[in-house]
Amino acid sequence: MMPREFDRRVPSGSAAMWLASLFFLLPIPCGAQDSHEFLPEVDLSVRLSPAVRMIVIGSVTRSRDTKYTEATIGAHFDFPFNKHFSVRPGYWHVASISHADEPYSENRLMLDATIKFPLGAGFRAADRNRGDLRDIGAEWSQRYRNRLRFERPVKTRHELLPYFSAEASYDSRYDRWNRKEYTLGCEVDLGSDSGLDFSVARQLDPQNPVKKLNAFGITWTIGFAL
């Protein structure tokens, strides 16, 4: 998903935070103020070595943070140290392309660290910690995102990977945990690092113009090796 500075109110662990977040998994009715969006994305996966991949991403969507359309381009690299731990540095450029009262431009440096562990009965979990260093209109800020994901592979002609994830974000601009996001989805492995990812998500963020977002996403990853 970086230099990161947090005050003492940001917890050093995530277990307690995620136990508390289970409260928010109760059914949430959609209201008139909800925004409903379709979030398509195309990624290019380049196998640089047997272990290392470069992912080039591109998307044009309605912004999750504002009320206009934005384009995102960027790249990140997957470095697995073993089957339980990996890191992913990356860079994204995000810019408004239409219907913006004030043009928006962001340069974002990211660093992910993910720990994976088995749960039994074929289930597994992944705890991803991401730091964002963001240049938004020449003003720098930081964001920390912690995502806990549960998944279980299903063997078919193309392996399916149903999953559920919950993520909380801390934004230095507001000095608070401002965003929660819950996602239910399924990845389809098409072979050779190619695949499809279908997802539905519910995002809650009282600090942004789009406070409640229901999104359906499709990500198409096209893979090849150098």
Domain residue ranges in the chain: 33-225
Task: Determine the average pLDDT of the residues in 171-198.
Answer: 96
Residue 86 clears pLDDT 70, i.e. is over it: yes
The CATH architecture that domain 33-225 belongs to is Beta Barrel (2.40)
Q: How far, in Å, CA of 129 to CA of 146, rounded?
A: 5
Residues 6-35 pLDDT 10s: 333 333 344 334 434 443 444 445 554 788
Task: Determine the average pLDDT of the residues in 126-155.
Answer: 96
Predicted confidence band at 225 (pLDDT cuts at 50, 70, 90)? Answer: confident
pLDDT attached to residue 63: 65
Predicted confidence band at 1 (pLDDT cuts at 50, 70, 90)? Answer: very low
Residue 175 clears pLDDT 60, i.e. is over it: yes
pLDDT attached to residue 189: 96
Residue 100 clears pLDDT 60, i.e. is over it: no
pLDDT attached to residue 64: 64
Residues 44-83 pLDDT 10s: 999 999 999 999 999 987 666 666 788 899 999 999 999 9
Residue 219 clears pLDDT 70, i.e. is over it: yes
For all residues of the chain together, what is the average pLDDT?
Answer: 85
